């Protein structure tokens, strides 16, 4: 997969109850030039909907140029899955400092 170095695609992974931290990280990453996506904020009606939402989140992490983690999400399913496909997994601080690994 070709990585986008002009506007890198970042998947933002954070603890589910860290909405304020996720919001601040989202603003910082966008200001740094990242195109950012994060977990689906949905309330599926049934198990099939939940499976589809999780699959979409995992696919977004796998196809990102980088997965950026907040404290507590370093070993999140999205980060681990993306790493298996060679996607760099960075802390927010490293991503904002320009680390690429």
pLDDT at 1 > cutoff 90? no
pLDDT exceeding 70 applies to what percent of the chain? 95
Strand pairing category for 66-69 and 9-13:
parallel
The CATH number of 9-97 is 3.40.50
Q: What is the pLDDT of residues 12-55, one digit of tens each?
A: 999 878 889 999 999 999 999 999 999 877 777 889 988 998 99
Alpha-carbon distance of 94 to 47, in angstroms, equals 36
The domain spans of the chain are: 9-97
User: pTM for this structure?
Assistant: 0.89
pLDDT at 82 > cutoff 60? yes
- What's the mean pLDDT when you consider all of the chain? 90
DSSP secondary structure string, 6-73? Answer: SS-EEEEE--TT-HHHHHHHHHHHHHTT-EEEE------SSHHHHHHHHHHHHHHHHTSSEEEE-TT-
pLDDT at 2 > cutoff 60? no
Task: State the average pLDDT over residues 64-82.
Answer: 95
Alpha-carbon distance of 74 to 71, in angstroms, equals 7
pLDDT at 3 > cutoff 60? no
**Using the 8-state DSSP alphabet, how is residue 5 labeled?**
S
């Amino acid at each position: 997969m070709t990585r986008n170095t002009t506007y890198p695609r970042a998947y933002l992974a954070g603890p589910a109850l860290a909405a304020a931290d996720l919001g601040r990280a989202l603003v910082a990453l966008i200001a740094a030039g990242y195109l950012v996506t994060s977990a689906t904020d949905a309330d599926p009606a049934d198990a099939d909907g939940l499976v589809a939402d999780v699959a979409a989140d995992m696919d977004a992490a796998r196809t990102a140029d980088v997965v950026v983690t907040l404290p507590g999400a370093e070993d999140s399913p999205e980060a681990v899955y993306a790493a298996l496909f060679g996607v760099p997994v960075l802390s927010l601080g490293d991503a904002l400092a320009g680390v690429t690994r």
